[in-house]
Structure 1
Amino acid sequence: MTGFSLNESHQDIRFLAQHFQDDYLTSNQSIFDKDTFGETISILKEALDNIDKNTYYKDADYWGLYEAIETFLYGEITPNQNDGEFWGIRGFSYVWEDMCSTYFFKEYLDHICYADTDIPLKNYYNRERQREKVHRVGNHEAYKGTNGYGNQWIYRTISDIPSDKNNKQSSCLGWNELLCIELDTQEATFVYSNNKYSTLDRRNGTKKMHRYPRPDLVLLKGKHKGICEVQIFDYKDVSLDFYLTNQNLKFDLIDPTDPKYKKYKIDIIKSLTYEFALQQERHHVKVVDNVFFIPWWYYDRKPHPIYGETELKDIQGKGIDVIKGNFFMIQQIYLEESL
């Protein structure tokens, strides 16, 4: 195994992978199939265990490869680092998120305002990162919160919205800063009948609390009369039936102990929070599409637009749409990037 080069061994890897699939897997099993994901991972873990038991000479190269595969199959927090970075298979929903992120960065990079991801891309160069991380897309350290989990780097561009609304020459806000909700806990007086006596604007801001919502993706669709028109995407690994079943239910009738209904409610609240954060008055941003992006397997036709098609409009009357993502096309771009 000494001198092994991944780039020079694609043909051998493909041959061995096909041979393994023929011997151990059925034709529809894949880590990219939500229905067979769990079973496939179990088979791969068992195969790795058998290889380890039947390999008698284990040199440094063997252990390096073995540990990399083991970590990938079982997943773990990056060892010896307290950055919350996770490497490996955690569940199909995380595979779907990485697939979508890869697709949009490959096809819509110039339109991305914000992305909650730090995926690596082969031909991407990031001046903000250290040498071993220069191919990762994250260009801004995210707020870590209290638990240390989640992407520690996000991708953001700088908007043309000044940080000081009274000074057009001031520096401009990053899109991550636009995704902010403020709560000022300092007391103030509001006089409804005569607002000139209000003291809201005279608070010094030192007691403001900030929350930074993190949607999966914000795309700039265009500008109209100085207003940025954007699309918000949240990648969801759920079935279409999940939304069809729940869209006509009222929140106050949902059983709070039912995890499916609870997820449905929380997902909608989170997406509305993203929209609220971006559409505050001084931001000059309009959300034209707020989207749940789910995997869909097209077998007979190519959808338009190419990455998918809208299946449900305005679920719960909240202005959120459900788009069926073209799984096979997104998968193809993801695999081309990975090889």
Structure 2
Amino acid sequence: MFDFNKIKIVKGEELEGYGSFVGIRRDRGGNLVFSLPKGFDNFEETYNNVKELFFRMYRTFKKFRYIYTNKLDNISDERPQSKDNLIINNDLSYRFVNKENNEEVILYSKIDAIDSIMDLCKELEIATLVREIGLTEDVDYSRIDYLIDKGIYQKNNAIFVEFSLDKRNVIKDIPSDLIEMYCYIYKELAVELKVDLDVAIADISASFSAKYLSYNQGLFNENSFISTVLTLKDVLNKIHNLTPYKNNHYWLIYEAIEKFLYGELEANIDNNEEGFWGINNFSQVWEDMCNYYMASKRENQNILYCDTLTPINKEGLIKKKFGGYWVYVNKDFYNPFYIEFNDKKRWMRPDMVLENREKFLVNSEIEKLYNESIRRHIKESSFSHIYEEVRFTLRDGYHSNTFFEFLDRLRSNLFRQHKIISRQSRFLPKNKYSFSIKNIEKDKLSLMLDKFFQKGMKSKDSNQADIYIIDWKYLPLNFFNKKSEKSMLDINKQLVYEFCLSSQETYQEKKIRSQFGLPFYTKSQDYPFFAAKETNISGIEIMYVDFYMIQEVYLDA
């Protein structure tokens, strides 16, 4: 297994010679090198940070591989998509064609040192087997009368019972210490990989720790990794030398432990010509992580279009095929992303198109908010019996910025309407808790409120757009500062997306904004998106996307 203190970290500008590879491989000197994702310039190279990122990336690659292979089973095409061109080599490598540039992408998501331990638990059903009937040296004295005939009578009239049949944490014909060691390693990995741990395995693991390790030792503890591994190797060697009979179960468990203790990447090299763990082009993983986050967390935005492998279960979204590719679209959305020539359409695929719900709340939401938060006091006006005076006040428990803003918008909307509907009325100076309308005709107020509910509540933030066209770019932070052929191509494609959408009559009056989302590592953000220093390039916003926050949601899916 890896000593995370001995892994060289490559990040930031150092990645220029590593392409889009993310993972671990050996350099020319034979040293392990961990190439971090782009945008990780601020990553602090501590033992715990490297360990945490490694296991998170390990889970991410497993998740991505699972989604990819299941996608092939679930989608039947008349002709294969480029995304579907997947070849599995010896259950170690997964090869497919990248949708952007038709380059081959190779994913190695297995590390034998880890997979040999985790897979064996399911293969042998360890949690069940440890409860099998075996030999135990503990005597159940409540059943002593059943053991007399098995005893050895001593000269002092004592009876020696050598063994009995009872429940024991051991697989039949396998040394208990080997099982305990396996369970200990499995438990340590399960904690780091966020895998649910069976109580029986946890108990056996604790038994091994009590026998052979000190209270502060751990496999993934910076200060005790080396000493713990040396102890495990010593115990494994003794078990092996003292075990006369070794059946198939013994060898399966022994070899899994041996691979873990002695292996790094060597176990893969025979079947892995590149000799690495990771993926040689991380862009597809990045896109799927971002798309899944937007689909699962952005409740205030309505997805109109999404090009992703990750299954999305969202009301109103359906799967449709355009130009041989499956994408998610809103059932009411007309897909305009094509260029037509000689009656033939060439389809394009942005990563995601969103409609901003925060910009406009429909009447049912507004009316509900009004009824819950606003108290209305009405009395007849002293001016005339056909007029009345109305006071709008926030109810107790609704004194917060959200409802202060709502009350202000209600006041502004009614004030604009009264110039047309009820010219005699006048508004008292507002405060954040209430406002009043004087001398409004009795039959006019309901009409004004109905118009407010029907029209909806427009956001005060005029900077917000109605529609966002987003492309997730797995690129370094300074990419668009350097004018290159690729950067110009990316910009032109995005502007064409915007042109196609704005050409549709439905969206001609909409405010459309194009954005690029670039990966950025931080743990200090409360919000996953924030503007880059150079926020606008050729009319396209450059947004930094919090890698850690996006990945967390992707892994919890």
TM bucket (normalised to shorter chain) is 0.5 to 0.7
Q: Which residue in 2 is equivalent to 1:83?
A: 80
* Identity between Structure 1 and Structure 2 (%): 26
Work out whether 1:210 is the aligned partner of 2:345: yes
Q: Deviations over 1:80-134 (max 9, x none)?
A: 974221554361111111111111111126611101113135xx3899xxxxxxx
Q: Which residue in 1 is equivalent to 2:478?
A: 241
Residue segments in structure 2 that go unaligned for 5+ positions in a row: 27-60, 87-93, 95-106, 108-279, 361-454, 457-464
Q: Which residue in 1 is equivalent to 2:549?
A: 329
Work out whether 1:282 is the aligned partner of 2:505: yes
Aligned match for 2:23, one of 32, 40, 58: 40
Q: Deviations over 1:223-258 (max 9, x none)?
A: 6789x9200110111112111233xxxxxxxxxxxx
**RMSD of the alignment, in Å?**
4.3
Q: TM-score, normalised by structure 1?
A: 0.52
What secondary structure, in the 3-state scheme, does the structure 1 residue paired with 2:466 have? Answer: strand
Work out whether 1:141 is the aligned partner of 2:361: no
Q: Which residue in 1 is equivalent to 2:290?
A: 100
Residue segments in structure 1 that go unaligned for 5+ positions in a row: 1-19, 44-67, 128-136, 145-151, 160-173, 186-207, 247-260
Q: For 2:477, give the aligned amino acid.
A: L
Give me the whole-angstrom Cα distance separating, in 1, the residues matched to 2:525 and 2:474: 21
Aligned match for 1:113, one of 296, 299, 304: 304
Q: For 1:302, give the aligned amino acid.
A: Q
Is residue 275–residue 287 contact of structure 1 (8 Å, CA) maintained in 2?
no
Aligned residue-pair number: 217
Is residue 307–residue 330 contact of structure 1 (8 Å, CA) maintained in 2?
no
In the TM superposition, what is the alpha-carbon distance from 1:274 to its structure 2 partner?
0.2
Are the structure 2 counterparts of residues 39 and 91 from structure 1 closer, same or farther at C-alpha, using a change threshold of 3 Å? closer
Give me the whole-angstrom Cα distance separating, in 1, the residues matched to 2:22 and 2:336: 42
Are the structure 2 counterparts of residues 295 and 138 from structure 1 closer, same or farther at C-alpha, using a change threshold of 3 Å? farther
Pairing of 1:110-259 with structure 2 (within 5 A):
111-120=302-311, 124=313, 139-144=319-324, 152-159=325-332, 174-175=333-334, 177-183=335-341, 208-222=343-357, 229-246=466-483
Q: For 1:178, give the aligned amino acid.
A: P
Q: TM-score, normalised by structure 2?
A: 0.33
Give me the whole-angstrom Cα distance separating, in 2, the residues matched to 1:334 and 1:242: 26
Is residue 25–residue 40 contact of structure 1 (8 Å, CA) maintained in 2?
no
Aligned match for 2:536, one of 305, 314, 327: 314
Q: Which residue in 2 is equivalent to 1:264?
A: 487
Pairing of 1:15-94 with structure 2 (within 5 A):
20-22=1-3, 26=7, 38=21, 40=23, 42=25, 72=65, 82-84=79-81, 85-86=84-85, 88=94, 89=107, 91-94=281-284
Give me the whole-angstrom Cα distance separating, in 2, the residues matched to 1:211 and 1:158: 21
Are the structure 2 counterparts of residues 335 and 281 from structure 1 closer, same or farther at C-alpha, using a change threshold of 3 Å? closer
Larger Rg: 2
